[in-house]
């Protein structure tokens, strides 16, 4: 399955679960969803600070009931971050594969630790 196919799949699920209210303007959608993306990053940060990254996530029991292998907190939160980003990119009809590969090729030309973070 391609990244674009996964983006389409998660977007369709987000629409079905009410994350794309009918008639919502793209600017309002983006504002709301960027906050949701930020929340997911914060949840990952909280799990790190609490020392529970490798413990089962709070949805582990539900996953087991569905016959799924439960995720750890680090796995679940990174998955949520990627899912939210893919959903947003699908909404804006961004070719995920093209832009990731283009940005990666550009990043290969950048100097060592170009952003100087940590």
Q: What is the mean pLDDT of residues 3-13?
A: 98
Residue 118's pLDDT band (boundaries 50, 70, 90)? low
Domain boundaries in the chain? 3-17+25-107
Q: How far is residue 99 from each of residues 49, 86, 113, measured CA to CA in Å?
A: 32, 12, 21
Which of 96, 4, 2, 88 shows the shortest CA–CA distance to 38?
88
pTM, rounded to two decimals? 0.90
CATH class (in words) of the domain with range 3-17+25-107: mainly alpha
Which pLDDT tens digit goes with each residue over 46-96? 999 999 999 999 999 999 999 999 999 999 999 999 999 999 999 999 999
Residue 30's pLDDT band (boundaries 50, 70, 90)? very high
Q: Output the pLDDT for position 48.
A: 98
Which pLDDT tens digit goes with each residue over 106-116? 999 998 877 76
């Amino acid at each position: 399955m391609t990244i674009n196919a996964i983006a389409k799949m998660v977007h369709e699920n987000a629409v079905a679960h009410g994350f794309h209210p009918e008639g919502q303007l793209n600017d309002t959608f983006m504002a709301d969803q960027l906050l949701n993306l930020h929340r997911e990053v914060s949840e990952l940060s909280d799990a790190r600070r609490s020392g529970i990254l490798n413990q089962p996530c709070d949805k582990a029991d539900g996953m087991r009931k569905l016959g799924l292998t439960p995720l750890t907190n680090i796995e679940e939160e990174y998955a949520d971050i990627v899912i939210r980003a893919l959903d947003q990119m699908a909404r804006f009809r961004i070719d995920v594969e093209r832009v990731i590969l283009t940005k990666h090729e550009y990043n290969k030309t950048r100097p060592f630790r170009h952003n100087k973070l940590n």
